[in-house]
Amino acid sequence: QVQLVESGGGLVEPGGSLRLSCAATGRTSTLYTMAWFRQPPGKEREFVGGISCNGPTTYYADSVKGRFTISRDNAKNTVYLQLNSLKPEDTDVYYCAARTFAAVAVSPDVYAYWGQGTQVAVSS
C-alpha cells in the first residue's frame, strides 16, 4: 500500500507562485509514474502534469505548459509541482497521484493511489 500526502497549497495573487509537494510513504519502491491533477467544482479531475520514474520524462497539459514544472526527488520519495504565473482559473483542489507503470497517463482512472488534495486559490 502507498500513501500520498500533499502540501503547499494556499492563497496567492495573480502572477504569483506556489510549490506543491507530494510525499509518498509505504511501498514506494513499486512507484513508477507520478502525476498532478486538479478538480474544478462539479467537474472531473483533469491532468496537470506527470513525471516518469526513469529519465525523468515530463508531460504537461497545454493549459499549464510553460508555467508549471513538475520534478521529483526519488531519494525523498517526493514529487513537486512548481506553479508560476498563476491565474485565477488555476484555482482548484490539486491532487497527487501515482501508478505502478512506467508511462505517464492523462486519465485519472489508471492511477491507483491518490492524496487527499491541497487547495490552490488565485485571487487579488
Judged on CB neighbours under 10 Å (0-12, 13-18, 19+), 25 is exposed
Average pLDDT, the chain: 92
The terminus-to-terminus CA distance of the chain in angstroms comes to 40
Measured distance CA(13)–CA(30) in Å, rounded? 38
Which position has the higher pLDDT, 19 or 32? 19
Position 41 scores a pLDDT of 85
Stretch 30-52: mean pLDDT: 91
Could you read off the pLDDT of 70-80 as tens digits, one per residue?
A: 999 888 889 99
Q: Are 32 and 81 in contact (CB under 8 A)?
A: no
Q: Are 38 and 45 in contact (CB under 8 A)?
A: yes
Residue 59 dihedral angles phi and psi, to the nearest 5°: -135, 145
Stretch 13-41: mean pLDDT: 90
